[in-house]
Amino acid sequence: MGQVTIWNEFRHERENPAVRQLYPDGMHAVLAAALRRGGISNLRTATLDEPAQGLPAAVLNATDVLIWWGHRHHGEVADDLAAAVHARILAGMGFICLHSGHFSKIFKKLMGTPCTVNWRADGELERVWLVAPGHPIAAGVPNYFELPKEEMYGEPFEVPPPEELVFISWFKGGEVFRSGGCYRRGRGRIFYFRPGHETFPTYHDANVQRVIVNAVRWAMPDAVTPRAFANERKDPIEAI
């Protein structure tokens, strides 16, 4: 299996004691442990405050699936880095966008739409419904599972219709949301997965972890081929 990189903004955990209590070593550390338990061991983590914002070319160019969690500091991610990540996705790298990553430079560039949501971070029940039984990202996931306290994201979610919709969420307050959607851009497979507000223990949840492990396997390319986009005149194979 190829290389997985988990990128995390990693500021809330250091600045907010309530978040630090849930994720003392960062959300990326909890996700990395979950992936290892799920049999995915070829992985590394990267954070915004590391050199080259965690993704120097040598790391990005060795990454086959990139997981992304960002929130308050999307604007600090360098335009050059967002462009390089975008180019690598087009060349085949898988991309798993978590929760507030919906508003990251990279996800917005991939979608080409505003990617806005309605939201309310009051901590309410989220019921995540599986709407694509048999989909590889849903392997081993029950018909629905519940997260007792989550932030609400409500429709309309201003994204293109997902090519495959795997999950829909219902919230105690009454809203619904397309929580798990698959896209392809170029050769890359993209999965957006909604749960994961930083002040709730969502990434400790077994079903959430299972979905992310499944999504990594689904998004893993056979190869990432950066120079494969020829657009050139060809002579016919047969006489015409």
Q: Looking up tokens 């309410």, which residue turns up? A: 124
Report the residue from 5, 8, 45, 100 that binds Zn ion according to the rule CB under 5 A: 100
Please say which residue, 5 or 100, places its beta carbon nearer to Zn ion.
100
Q: How near is the Cβ of 35 to Zn ion at its closest, in Å?
A: 21
- Find residue 127's DSSP bridge partners: 146, 170
Kind plus residue range of the DSSP H or E element containing 83: helix 79-90
In the complex, least distance from residue 204 CB atom to Zn ion, rounded to whole angstroms: 16
202 forms part of the interface with Zn ion (CB under 5 A) = no
Question: Which position has the token pair 């105690």?
Answer: 172
- DSSP type of residue 66: E
* Cβ distance to Zn ion smaller for residue 40 or 106: 106
Minimum gap (Å) between residue 167 Cβ and Zn ion: 17
Q: CB under 5 A: which stretch of 16-24, 110-118, 125-133, 197-205 binds Zn ion? A: 197-205
Decide whether 28 or 197 has the Cβ nearer to Zn ion. 197
Q: Within 10 Å of residue 115's Cβ, how many Cβ atoms?
A: 20
Applying the rule CB under 5 A, the residues between 35 and 54 that interact with Zn ion are none
Supply the minimum distance, in Å, between the C-beta of residue 111 and Zn ion. 18
Residue 157 to residue 154: CA distance in whole angstroms:
7
> Counting contacts by CB under 5 A, is residue 126 touching Zn ion?
no
Dihedral sign, Cα of residue 30, residue 35, residue 41, residue 42: negative
CB 157 within 8 A of CB 108: no
Could you identify the residue written with the tokens 């060809």? Answer: 234
Position of minimal CB gap to Zn ion: 197
Alpha-carbon distance 116 to 41, whole Å?
34
Instruction: Sort strands 176-185 and 43-47 into parallel, antiparallel or unpaired.
Output: unpaired
Give the shortest CB-162-to-Zn ion separation in angstroms: 20
Nearest distance from residue 84's CB to Zn ion, in Å? Answer: 26
How many residues contact Zn ion, by CB under 5 A?
3
Considering beta carbons, is residue 99 or 187 the nearer one to Zn ion?
Answer: 99
Site string for Zn ion, 138-157 (x = CB under 5 A): -------------x------
| Helix %, strand %, coil % of the chain (to 5) | 30, 30, 40
Residue 197, interface with Zn ion (CB under 5 A)?
yes
> Could you list the residues that contact Zn ion (CB under 5 A)?
100, 151, 197
